[in-house]
């Protein structure tokens, strides 16, 4: 995919969804941070079901600490890896209070120093809340980027670095959300829905398939 095609790719996604955002439910930066920590190896739908019950009871660092690990587990036990996630969330809440006055920092190093927060989670917070032009690469983005030829790479970090180089500046703020939504609902893993994909004509994989059909 060349530069002009990448511009058309994102311009088309923008035309279909001008204001993309996360599907996680949240009303504060802290709530989003906890939701993203919980979302590792879990669906946004599953996380929302848990946090919709948790947040009316506890949605600040101190109130979650007050629940304790076992108390928190009661609310998130439907989410995968809930035991380790509960411990990390409690530790993160303590660190936020001790080092950041209870506020979520607008800083990559500080975010990644929080228990349960890796590069992807930090990127989600930096982009969604603080509007940094960064791109969080999950399994959906990794698959879509390689399949379409948008940004090929053997590792998640390879794809992230490549995306940061090739995504036109005007689209970088929203690129993460467009790509994750497209990968989640259209460019799915087993049977990509090319027939309803608005950017299929720009996709390397789709064009290869079309050439094979034409030769057959």
CATH fold of 3-19+135-215 reads Endonuclease Iii, domain 2 (1.10.1670)
Quote the pLDDT of residue 207.
Answer: 85
**Is pLDDT above 80 for 213?**
no
CATH architecture of 29-128: Orthogonal Bundle (1.10)
- Domain boundaries for CATH 1.10.340.30 within the chain: 29-128
**Least confident piece of the model among 100-104, 125-129, 178-182, 211-215:** 211-215
Place of tokens 């917070």: 125
Please, which pLDDT band fits residue 77 given cuts at 50, 70 and 90?
very high
pLDDT tens, 106-132?
999 999 999 999 999 999 999 999 999
Average pLDDT over the chain, rounded to whole? 95
Quote the pLDDT of residue 216.
Answer: 60
Active-site residue list: 120, 138
- Domain boundaries for CATH 1.10.1670.10 within the chain: 3-19+135-215
Which CA distances in Å does 160 have to 4, 94, 120?
Answer: 20, 30, 10
Task: Tell me what the mean pLDDT of segment 46-70 comes to.
Answer: 98
Model-level pTM? Answer: 0.92
pLDDT tens, 154-209?
999 999 999 999 999 999 999 999 999 999 999 999 899 999 999 999 999 888 88
Quote the pLDDT of residue 135.
Answer: 97
Quote the pLDDT of residue 214.
Answer: 76
Alpha helices in the chain (DSSP H): 3-16, 29-38, 44-54, 61-76, 82-100, 108-112, 119-128, 139-148, 156-166, 172-185, 204-215
């Amino acid at each position: 995919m060349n530069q002009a095609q990448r511009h058309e790719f994102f311009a088309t996604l923008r035309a279909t969804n001008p204001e993309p955002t996360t599907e996680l439910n949240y009303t504060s930066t802290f709530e989003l941070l906890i939701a993203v920590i919980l979302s590792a190896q879990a669906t946004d739908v599953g996380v929302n079901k848990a946090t919709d019950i948790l947040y009316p009871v506890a949605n600040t660092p101190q109130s979650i600490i007050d629940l304790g690990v076992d108390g928190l587990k009661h609310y998130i036990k439907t989410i995968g890896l809930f035991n380790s996630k509960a411990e990390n969330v409690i530790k993160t809440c303590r660190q936020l209070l001790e080092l950041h006055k209870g506020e979520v920092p607008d800083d990559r190093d500080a975010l990644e120093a929080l228990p349960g927060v890796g590069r992807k989670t930090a990127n989600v917070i930096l982009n969604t809340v603080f509007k940094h032009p960064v791109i969080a690469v999950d399994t959906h983005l990794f698959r879509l980027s390689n399949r379409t030829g948008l940004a090929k790479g053997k590792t998640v970090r390879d794809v992230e670095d490549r995306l940061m180089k090739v995504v036109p500046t005007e689209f970088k703020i929203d690129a993460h959300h467009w790509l994750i939504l497209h990968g989640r609902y259209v460019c799915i893993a087993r049977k990509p829905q090319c027939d309803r994909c608005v950017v299929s004509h720009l996709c390397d994989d789709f064009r290869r398939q079309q050439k094979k059909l034409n030769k057959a």
